[in-house]
Amino acid sequence: MIDSAITVETRHLTRRFGPIVAVRDLNLTIAQGEVFGLLGPNGSGKTTTIRMFCGLLAPSEGTAIVAGVDVRESPDLIKERIGYMSQRFGLYEDLTVAENMDFFAGIYGLEGPSRRGRIAEVVSFLGLNRRLNQLAGTLSGGWKQRLGLACALMHRPPVLFLDEPTAGVDPAARRGFWSTIRTLASQGTTVIVTTHYMDEAGRCHRVGLMSQGHLIALGTPDEVATQVGGKSLEDAFIILQERDEQEQDA
């Protein structure tokens, strides 16, 4: 039986691309309603990990269970239970805000009155009312990001993946976005987010730092900061990452 309070669980999760090990022996448990930050430099294995969680890449070894579904066994079923939003605006710029939402609601299998009802709900939750007939391509970064979130939330996914969601968004919009994320989490949605911004990492319940394909630190932001006796999360990351690279070289 899968513990209902646990939304993501991996055991010895590994992914190879030929001779390169992109993700190595990852063991991770994320609880329902948690905001979990996955951090690390480019090439550290964050994206590969998220892609395995989304059913886009099969693990080479080990298991990952996301929202009660084994990613290796049912990669298609997973897609009905997750929402995904990437740093790159993945919506249609030549469609209006309303058309984008209508499209994604349809793709997630919502029909008729339930589709209209859910769209209205999401629109009021994210405050998109006055933008409905605007072409998505003409929105500012912050509004694009809200629309992206709206489309990813159409089917009420228990797990939400955000890949660098605030890249290119102004500070005020970022703050608003994070309070929305916390609201979602308090309502029971598990949020897994990758980010470069340290202040954002500090807003997560827990963070995991990845370097060269494996996890080098895991815990609340405070725990990770004090783990190396550093003053801040940022200092801790730099120290841990350098230590990891020296170990690899040795």
Partner 1 sequence: MKRFGPMFRKEFIQMRRDRLTLGIMVGIPVIQLLLFGFAIQTDVRHIPTVVLDESRTPTSRDVIAAFQNTGNFRIVTHVDGRATLDAWIARGDAQAGIVIPQDFPRDLARGTTATIQVIVDASDPLSSQAALAAAAGVAQVRNLAILSAAAHRNTLPLETRVRPRYNPGLRSPNYIVPGLVGVILTITLVLVTAMAIVRERERGTLEQLIVTPITKTELMLGKIAPYVGVGLVQMTTVLLLGRFVFDVPLTGNVVLLYGVAFVFIVASLALGLFVSTLVRTQQQAMQASFFFVLPNILLSGFMFPRQAMPAFFQWIGAFLPLTHFLKVLRGILLKGVGVTELWQEMAILLLFATVLIALSVRRFQKTLD
Binding footprint of partner 1 on the chain (CB under 8 A): 54-57, 76, 79-80, 82, 84-86, 88-95, 99, 102-109, 111, 151, 161
List, in sequence order, the alpha helices (H) in 140-170: 141-153
Residue whose CB is less far from partner 1, 54 or 204? 54
For the CB of residue 106, give the shortest distance to partner 1 in the complex, in Å: 3
**Whose CA is closest to 149, among 187, 171, 188, 176?**
176
**Whose CA is closest to 205, among 37, 10, 26?**
37
The DSSP secondary structure of 97-145, one letter per residue, reads: HHHHHHHHHHHTT--HHHHHHHHHHHHHHHT-GGGTTSBGGGS-HHHHH
For the CB of residue 54, give the shortest distance to partner 1 in the complex, in Å: 5
In which region does residue 74 sit, left (phi positive, over 0), alpha (psi from -120 to 50) or beta (all else)? beta
Longest dimension (CA), the chain: 62
Residue whose CB is less far from partner 1, 167 or 198? 167
Residue whose CB is less far from partner 1, 36 or 108? 108
Contacts (Cβ under 8 Å, ≥6 apart) of 210: 38, 39, 40, 44, 45, 46, 49, 216
For the CB of residue 248, give the shortest distance to partner 1 in the complex, in Å: 27
For the CB of residue 86, give the shortest distance to partner 1 in the complex, in Å: 6
Taking the mean position of all CA atoms in its chain, how far away is CA 214? 18
Residue whose CB is less far from partner 1, 76 or 249? 76
Taking the mean position of all CA atoms in its chain, how far away is CA 71? 16
Residue whose CB is less far from partner 1, 152 or 209? 152
Residue whose CB is less far from partner 1, 98 or 173? 98
For the CB of residue 237, give the shortest distance to partner 1 in the complex, in Å: 27
For the CB of residue 111, give the shortest distance to partner 1 in the complex, in Å: 8
